[in-house]
Amino acid sequence: MARILKDYPEISLKPEDFVGNVDFCRIFGRHGPVHIEIGSGKGTFLLHQAKAQPSDNFLGIEWANRYYRYAVDRIGRWGLTNVRILRTDAAAFIAESITDSSIDCFHIYFPDPWPKKRHHKRRFLGPANLAHLIRCLKTGGQIRVATDHADYFEQIQKVFAAKSDRLEEMEFIRPAGAETGEWAGTNFERKYIKEQRPIYTLAVKKK
C-alpha cells in the first residue's frame, strides 16, 4: 500500500507566504544560524542534520513536487521544529528574497548535472548563482558541494576558483547522516555508490 503523505503547515512553506525579503526569525520563531539546502530531495540530509544541530535553523528548497511532499511528511512525522521546506525555483528565490550576509551555510548535494552540452547553462552552480550565494553568506559562511558528475565538478571548481578573492577552500565536513564510505549521506549518493560512481566534494568559506 502506498504511503499517504501528510502536509504539515508548520513545516511546508509557500512562495506566496513571502512578501519582500525573507525574515528567518519569523519563519522559525527564533534567532539562530541559518542553513539552506538547495535540492533537498526526500529530506534525508535535513532530517539527520537538524537532529544533530537543534539550535540551528534549516530551510530546504525542492522543486520536484513528489520529493517536496515526501520531505514535508518525513520531517513532520519526526516532529522537528527547526526545519522548513519550500517548493520553488531556488535560483530565483535566492536572488530575489534572501538578504545580504544572512546565511551561515549553503548545502548543495548532487545537483542536476544537465549533462548535455546545450543544457549546461541550466546548471545551478554557475557564475550568476554563485555571486548571489556569496552575497547572501555571512563572513565565514560556507558552501558545501557534492556531485557524482566529473564534468560538472570540473566546471564547479573553475567557477569557484574565479571567486578566489571572496572564497577560501576548506575541508569538506561530512553531514551527520553520512555513513561509512559516504560523503553526504543522501538517497542519491547511496544510489550512485551502489553503481560504483566516484563522488567529488568541495567546500569553501567566505572571506
Strand partners, 57: 34
**Alpha helices (H) along the chain:** 24-28, 44-52, 65-78, 90-97, 127-136, 150-161, 187-194
* Residue 191: strand, helix, or coil: helix
Residue 101 C-beta-side C-alpha neighbours within 13 Å:
4
Is 165 one of the annotated active-site residues of the chain?
no
- Between CA 140 and CA 98 the distance in angstroms is 17
* Residue 63: strand, helix, or coil: coil
Q: List the one residue out of 149, 162, 150 whose CA is nearest residue 204.
A: 162
Q: Which of 89, 112, 148, 151 is catalytic?
A: 112
- Within 8 A by CB and 6+ apart from 129, the residues are 91, 94, 95
Total H helices, total E strands in the chain: 7, 8
- Between CA 66 and CA 86 the distance in angstroms is 13
Residues with a known catalytic role: 112
